[in-house]
Homo-oligomer: A and B are copies of this chain.
Amino acid sequence: MATRGRPRTFDPDTALRQALDLFWERGYEGTSLNDLAQATGIASASIYTCFGSKENLFRKVMALYGTTSGEPPRRALREQPTARAAIHAMLRATADEITRPDAPHYCMLILAAPTGAVENHAIREFLAGLRHDQLTTIKDRLARGVTDGDLTAPPAGLDALARYYTTVVQGLSVQARDGATRAELEEVITCAMAAWDTLAPAPSHIGG
């Protein structure tokens, strides 16, 4: 039961990356199938045969985006030993990603389709769902800090703290989009982390 029928003349993964580049630069509605056909060198009919529809292609592109550009911040959250270090490293990894010279200076998840035509409501909610996952991931990391003993549950609440740093992440993309440099983002991150010790003092090591 090997491959049946005529084989593909292009690599879908390569096409997906090329589509990613376009959607990243121009957003969902700003990218046309004509643009995609030209950038990939594939006729639009073949794009439909392979990916189904523009919306479906975009969803697959976002999956690829999540496993590539989304990975460094997620890894920072995962691998840093304390909640504080994890948040700090995540912010810095985000700043790194959104100031790369070879890519648009913002997070695609945030700016590819925040508003748009009524007919594309489903796509916007799809992205909103992924953004909500960001918040959840950050919240989970803070909870792990409490479990690990490197963070005392702050009076403001873990949820508030998680939402605060999510807000900073999202604001950073607008800043980078508007031309802020990596150094300027670093300053913003420094300010954002200054809130930490007030909000979430390190646990006293009594008994530990």
- A168 surroundings in chain B (CB, below 8 A): 167-168, 171
Q: How far is the CA of A26 from the CA of B147 in the complex (A)?
A: 43
In the complex, which of the residues B32, B117, B188 contacts A30, with contact meaning CB atoms closer than 8 Å?
A: B117
- A198 surroundings in chain B (CB, below 8 A): 194-195, 197-198
CB A61 to nearest CB in B, in angstroms, measures 14
Size class of the A contact interface (CB-based, 8 Å)? 35 or more
The verdict on A187 contacting chain B, using a C-beta distance below 8 Å, is: yes
Mark each residue of chain A from 106 to 130: 1 if its CB lies under 8 Å from any CB of chain B, else 0: 1000111011111010000000100
The verdict on A132 contacting chain B, using a C-beta distance below 8 Å, is: yes
B190 adjacent to A160 (CB under 8 Å): yes
A29 adjacent to B116 (CB under 8 Å): yes
